[in-house]
Amino acid sequence: MPTALVDDRPTLDRQLAEAADRFGTPAYVYSTDVAEARLAHLRAHLGRWFAVSFAVKSNPNPALLGWMRDRLDYLDISSGGEFDLGLQAGWEAERISFTGPAKREAELRPAIAGGLGELVLESLREAELADAIAAELGVVQPVLVRLAPARVPKGFGDQMAGRPSPFGVDVEEAAETLPRIAALPNLRLIGLHIYSGTQCLKPEAICENWRIFMQVFSETCAALDLTPEKLIFGSGLGIPYHPGDSELDLAAIAAEIGPELDAFAARFPATRLVLELGRYLVGPAGWFVTRVVAVKQSRGSRIAICDGGLNANLAASGNFGMVLRRNYVMHRIGGEEDGTRPEEKQDISGPLCTSIDKLGGGVALPRLEAGDLLAIHACGAYGPTASPLYFISHPLPVELMLTGGQVQDVTRIGRA
């Protein structure tokens, strides 16, 4: 899905260069214009069926969360710290759901006391703990139960069900566990949640996965005689990270699964269906900008050594769940300078004293020199908070938000 900023490389490069010169590097630059275009694209194709919930873990920057407040329906948090970030960004507690397999009393208590919208339960242990807390507080907490289906279709970058998993209640155990949860007096079971796979670029796999969701939801609600208020579909929508990857075709998904979603919604007319996602919305809306500190020739390879590496961007280095390392899409800011910079294959390294600090291998780019700026694409999700920022104590990356051509410093980490 093209956007004006992404398609207009000269304008993008000018804005990224100005941001780097003004605020320094390494830097994450998040474009709210691109995120808004992606949200509009999502709603145009899937909004007929789904409200939208944003998974804070993908990018918990408070300024970005604040920008989302009046644009998205819900937030999904996975820790007490993310609950606090959501509140600080202006989100009402009743619009927040709380997932995660190891919730502790110290984070459950303030969330329940603070009016959390829904607690997404992942086990009977968690349900009993939440029930005890709610009883002490004199409240009844709305809850959903996360279910782990027996299978996940091929095509997902990460699977959280269909095999031993810390996430949710296995569907094989649901018949025994869910009635016990539903009987707890200080919890009110209002729905179900499934997030079984992520980072999928195949429309047919997305559709097959959602069919599994609908079957599990239907069978579970029937068994419990539950009329759900909310059913959460973990979206699984992927983004193109690497050369050759294609943007996920939402129109194809809507065309294939639409009639089945219509029939499903008709069976649950009082239920709100929610699509939970993270990277799909913000991943392509972010760039990691790093400056070349030095260039060297080594045994036939040209190596550009940059001021930001895996310490600042673990995902781009290939060390955040990638089985076989692949280069992210990247470009030299400023291009080839009217042909005076011939393109050649170069290795891109970070500043750390470890051989795994590599941002690219054999990347075809205009010949790099010290002082050049590189922009690594698809870095708006799982960036600084998913990276070992303090390893070897290099300067922390800044976070910048770009809206309508205006940039502001929204850095949170390392600042009071």
Q: Is residue 9 scored above 90 in pLDDT?
A: no
Residue 157 in 3-state DSSP?
strand
* pLDDT tens, residue by residue, 252-306: 999 999 999 999 999 999 999 999 999 999 999 999 999 999 999 999 999 999 9
Phi and psi based region of residue 381 (left: phi greater than 0; alpha: psi -120 to 50; beta: remaining): beta
Q: Is the CB of residue 400 less than 8 Å from the CB of residue 30?
A: yes
pLDDT at 337: 74
* pLDDT tens, residue by residue, 68-103: 999 999 999 999 999 999 999 999 999 999 999 999
Q: Is the CB of residue 337 less than 8 Å from the CB of residue 372?
A: no
pLDDT at 416: 56
pLDDT at 323: 61
For every residue of 301-335, DSSP letters joined together read EEEEEES--TTT-TTTTT-SS-SS--PPPEEETTT
pLDDT bucket at 1, cuts 50 / 70 / 90:
low
Please report, for residues 134, 253, 395, the alpha-carbon distance to residue 138 in angstroms, rounded to integers and kept in the order given: 6, 45, 47
306 catalytic? Reply is no
pLDDT bucket at 350, cuts 50 / 70 / 90:
very high
Round to whole Å and give the CA distance between 328 and 323. Answer: 14
pLDDT at 104: 96
Residues of the chain with CATH 3.20.20.10: 92-277
* pLDDT tens, residue by residue, 374-396: 999 999 999 999 999 999 999 99
Q: What is the 3-state secondary structure (H, E, C) of 394-414?
A: CCCCEEEEEECCEEEECCCCC
Instruction: Give the CATH architecture of domain 92-277.
Output: Alpha-Beta Barrel (3.20)
Please report, for residues 24, 84, 88, the alpha-carbon distance to residue 114 in angstroms, rounded to integers and kept in the order given: 39, 10, 13
Round to whole Å and give the CA distance between 86 and 89. Answer: 5
Contacts of 265 (CB under 8 A, 6+ apart): 49, 271, 273
* pLDDT tens, residue by residue, 208-247: 999 999 999 999 999 999 999 999 999 999 999 999 999 9
Right CATH for 284-409 from 3.90.1150.10, 2.40.37.10, 1.10.3720.10, 3.30.70.520: 2.40.37.10
pLDDT at 330: 97
For every residue of 236-267, DSSP letters joined together read -B----STT-----HHHHHHHHHHHHHHHHHH
Q: Which of 207, 221, 306, 353 is catalytic?
A: 353
Instruction: Give the residue-averaged pLDDT of 100-124.
Output: 97
pLDDT at 2: 52
Residues of the chain with CATH 2.40.37.10: 284-409
pLDDT bucket at 335, cuts 50 / 70 / 90:
confident
CB atoms within 10 A of CB 388: 12
